[in-house]
Amino acid sequence: MLKKITQVIFVLLSTVIGLYPFVYLFVNRKFGLLSSKSSDLLVDTIWNIALYSHIFLGGVALLVGWIQFNKKIRTSRSKLHKRIGKIYVIMVFISGVSGIYIGFFATGGIIASLGFISLGILWVYTTYKAYWYTRTVRISQHQTMMYYSYAACFSAVTLRIWLPILIMLIGDFIIAYQIVAWLCWIPNLIFAYYLVGKIKSRLVVNSI
């Protein structure tokens, strides 16, 4: 029962935050985190292209990525699994590279920038490795890298959970944002590492 509830919450959060970027189509330019950006940056063409590529395509990656962990789809609808996987990889590469670029302009200075740039590099790298492993038919390694890739992708969700909590606790948006630039993804990776280890242990036990 607890597992089912956890899965429902996971899917719900991925869907809601995956759709969240579309809010930016209907609000003014000072909405959300954009309110912390300078007027000069908000009219910069390259930064805007990178920003909207990052948030919209990253949202699509978040929306479709969770489907890949559905065992029934992986085993009985392998063609659908591959199609969704290709969409996810393309979305990640564009969103990830865009995210690395806008990371240089992150609110909070060098501390926040390093956190988000590291996240972007890790997201692109783990997704590339997952893609490479599936091309070379190394399924176990592919699955491991996909856990890490989606853990990085899920930082879009955990950032929006942690940030208001940190702001309430610290009372300073800049400091909270510097912390969340790291906190939004490092615990996710630790959890993915734990999950991968648990799955591998279960496979070893079942093979005995």
pLDDT in tens, 127-159: 999 999 999 999 889 999 999 999 999 999 999
183 within a domain of the structure (yes/no): yes
| Non-local CB neighbours of 32 within 8 Å, separated by 6+ positions | 23, 24
pLDDT at 205: 56
How many angstroms separate the CA atoms of 190 and 145, rounded?
A: 13
pLDDT at 200: 81
65 within a domain of the structure (yes/no): yes
Lowest mean pLDDT among 10-24, 46-60, 81-95, 153-167: 10-24
Lowest mean pLDDT among 42-46, 54-58, 116-120: 42-46
- Burial (CB < 10 A; 0-12, 13-18, 19+), residue 15, is middle
**Number of domains composing the chain:** 1
33 within a domain of the structure (yes/no): no
Residue 204 has pLDDT above 60, yes or no: no
The two tokens of residue 127 are: 């997704």
How many angstroms separate the CA atoms of 26 and 78, rounded?
A: 37
Residue 30 has pLDDT above 80, yes or no: no
**Could you tell me the pLDDT band of residue 208, with boundaries at 50, 70 and 90?**
low
144 within a domain of the structure (yes/no): yes
Residue 27 backbone phi and psi in degrees, to 5: -125, 170
Q: Which domain holds residue 166?
A: 2-27+38-207
**Could you tell me the pLDDT band of residue 187, with boundaries at 50, 70 and 90?**
very high
Total Cβ atoms within 10 A of residue 125: 15
DSSP state of 80: H
Mean pLDDT of 118-122: 98
Mean pLDDT of 193-199: 90
pLDDT at 25: 80
Reference 82, options 148, 142, 14; nearest CA is 142
Lowest mean pLDDT among 4-8, 35-39, 51-55: 35-39
Residue 201 has pLDDT above 90, yes or no: no
pLDDT at 120: 97
DSSP 24-51: GGSS-TTSGGGGGS-HHHHT-HHHHHHH
**C-alpha distances in Å from residue 153, one per residue of 21, 108, 136:** 14, 21, 24
Residue listed under structure tokens 């890949």: 68
pLDDT at 37: 85
Length of the chain: 208
Left (φ > 0), alpha (ψ -120 to 50) or beta: where does 31 sit?
beta
32 within a domain of the structure (yes/no): no
How many angstroms separate the CA atoms of 56 and 91, rounded?
A: 9
The two tokens of residue 70 are: 């559905």
